[in-house]
Amino acid sequence: MSEHHHHDHGVEQVSDSVLLWTTLVNIGLSVFEFIAGAIAGSVALMADALHNTNDAAALLIAYVARKISRKGADEKYTFGYRRAELIGAMIQLTALIIVGIYLIYEAIRRFFSPEPLEGGWIMAAASVALVVDIVTAWLLWAMSKGSMNVKAAFLHNITDAGASVAVLLGGAAIYFLDWSWVDPTLTLIIAGYILYMSFDMLKATCRILMEGTPPELSLKQVQATMTAVAGVRSVHHLHVWELDEHHTALGAHVVVSRNPEDKNHQSSVRQELKKKLHETHSIAHCTLELEYFGDQCVSPVEKLIANE
């Protein structure tokens, strides 16, 4: 079975109340770190606040999207409201990239024009962030109960805790050793990581919105799975795309052999195709048009090639 790997926070297994409280606490932490960073003059602390804002925004978007998605499909949106999360993600990621680029500019400027830093404030704020990261990770770990998605969220928060430890050590270096260069160095590392993750997530988000084929899925393998079903001669007009992060759809024209003795031949072939596609490739939504061999349609491209 094809495996779908996505950078998410395992929210499907987490109750709404815990998800909401975790989001609010992380938003509060981000505001606190921004204020502390401004007081301390630390760009690294602001960069860590941005990193934490990314996590909080992702959780908030997931929370809101889950609420919206429960409305289900209607006449205006026949596929439902699942892509509301993607629209929010596009806004969030665009903002993150802009701020990340600014942080890199500010860090480089600080190398040439150092500014006074309050190491004590940096250590205090980083300590609070570390505690919140550990508590958030503990909440997710306690609720995982064998869920790989929630365990992935746990590991992500451990990464956040690592960033907080780095800022804490940087604050100590500034406070005790007066190493002002540590702050812009940490800023470059954190901002670089934010940009790397943001561009990677933006690429995945754009692919879904552009109805691209899932990267882990091979159209040749899908076609092979379909043609292996008894009675199927060939497949054309094959399209596979992602409805959202967790749901894949398929549309295809399937050429089948005639079987005059079986009046339900097409129906049985269609059911077997859907079963195989779901079991082998996790494709749950299929639209299949069955055609008899010799009567199949020909696409404009195929006609053009045939006439050359």
Class of domain 219-307: alpha beta
CB 86 within 8 A of CB 205: yes
Residue 108: its pLDDT value, please? 92
pLDDT number for residue 33: 87
Q: Was domain 11-209 assigned CATH 1.20.1510.10?
A: yes
pLDDT confidence of residue 306 = 43
pLDDT in tens, the chain (308 residues): 334 444 444 444 456 677 678 778 888 888 898 898 888 888 888 888 877 777 777 667 666 766 776 677 788 888 777 777 778 778 778 877 887 888 888 889 888 888 788 889 899 988 998 888 888 777 767 655 544 444 545 656 676 777 788 888 998 998 898 898 998 998 898 888 888 888 888 888 899 889 899 998 999 999 999 999 998 999 999 999 988 777 899 999 999 988 766 667 788 899 999 999 999 999 989 999 999 877 767 555 444 434 54
| Entry pTM | 0.68
Query: How many C-beta neighbours within 10 Å does residue 279 have?
Result: 11
Helix (H) or strand (E) holding 242: strand 232-242
The CATH 1.20.1510.10 portion of the chain extends over 11-209
Tell me what pLDDT residue 248 has: 92
pLDDT of the residue at 288? 95
> 189, 29, 195, 187: which is closest to 115 by C-alpha?
187
d(CA 220, CA 211): 18
> Which residues, in sequence order, are bridge partners of residue 254?
235, 290
**pLDDT of 153:** 54
H/E segment holding residue 161: helix 148-177
Whether the Cβ atoms of residue 183 and residue 110 lie closer than 8 Å to each other: yes
Phi, psi of 75 (to 5 degrees): -65, -30
For CATH 3.30.70.1350, list the domain ranges present in the chain: 219-307
d(CA 152, CA 64): 21
CA distances (Å), origin 64, targets 16, 98, 276: 10, 24, 34
